Amino acid sequence: MKLNIVFDMGQVLMDFAPPKFIARLGYTGADAQALLQEVFRGWEWVAFDRGDITGEDVVSSACQRLPQRLHGAARELVFRWWERVIPMPGAKELVKELHDKGYPLYVLSNASQDFHTYFDLIPGSEYLPRARRFVSSDYRLLKPEHEIYELFLQTFGLAAESCVFIDDNPANVEAARRLGMQAIVHRGDMGRLRRELKELGIEVEG
């Protein structure tokens, strides 16, 4: 039986790069730094991914700390950052190759409810069945909490040892390993990721 391949989203399938999103709006210097800190690095973004608050809540709270001139930008960033998805190099090709070779593919991601709107915009998403996508805000849990991995496995009826989990965050990978999953830290080097998959017995080129 082929192993199940479980993908994180940000920095694995797509480049979640807040500084790039801010730069696209034309902000630089202190204004760009303020938007980065107050929109993407505040507690609100974490709560948004957990599903505890809405996008409107994120904007309202962040704007209390931002000057009036940046309020419009904060709203654009919360609700429209994903309109121009930046794929991770080689991700679509890897996903398609694994799909074509018959590997069951899953997604396990920390993301807000907007995930259900934008995920299909990510190149390669067509090979990742909607029914096998597991997003944190649906369950009010976040990686690296062990409960999210346990619920993921339970939901899909998977044994931990049958899964290979790919994530850019070492803490998330370590948590998956503690539950018995095989797991790889993806550092943006597709050649290295392919080599590490081959070392686990996954049939990939490279």
Do 92 and 61 share a structural domain?
no
User: Residue 192 has which token pair?
Assistant: 């290295």
Do 114 and 32 share a structural domain?
no
- pLDDT reported for residue 34: 98
**pLDDT string in tens for the chain (206-residue length):** 799 999 999 999 999 999 999 999 999 999 999 999 999 999 999 999 999 999 999 999 999 999 999 999 999 999 999 998 999 999 999 999 999 999 999 999 999 999 999 999 999 999 999 999 999 999 999 999 999 999 999 999 999 999 999 999 999 999 999 999 999 999 999 999 999 999 999 999 98
Of 39, 54, 83, the one marking the end of a domain is 83
Q: Is 57 exposed, middle or buried (0-12, 13-18, 19+ CB in 10 A)?
A: middle
198 φ, ψ to 5°? -60, -35
- Work out whether the CA dihedral 132, 137, 143, 148 comes out positive or negative: negative
- pLDDT reported for residue 119: 97
Q: Which residues pair with 108 in a beta bridge?
A: 134
* Helical ranges in 37-100 per DSSP H: 43-50, 55-63, 71-80, 91-100
Residue 206 lies in a domain: no
Q: Compute the distance between CA of residue 107 and CA of residue 70 in angstroms, rounded to an integer.
A: 34
Tell me which residue range forms the domain holding 50. 18-83
Count CB neighbours of 24 within 10 A. 14
Residue 116 lies in a domain: yes
Do 115 and 66 share a structural domain?
no
- pLDDT reported for residue 206: 80
Do 101 and 150 share a structural domain?
yes
Cβ–Cβ < 8 Å for 71, 34: no
pTM above 0.85, yes or no: yes
CA-to-CA separations, 142 to 67, 109, 202, in angstroms, rounded = 31, 8, 27
Do 67 and 37 share a structural domain?
yes
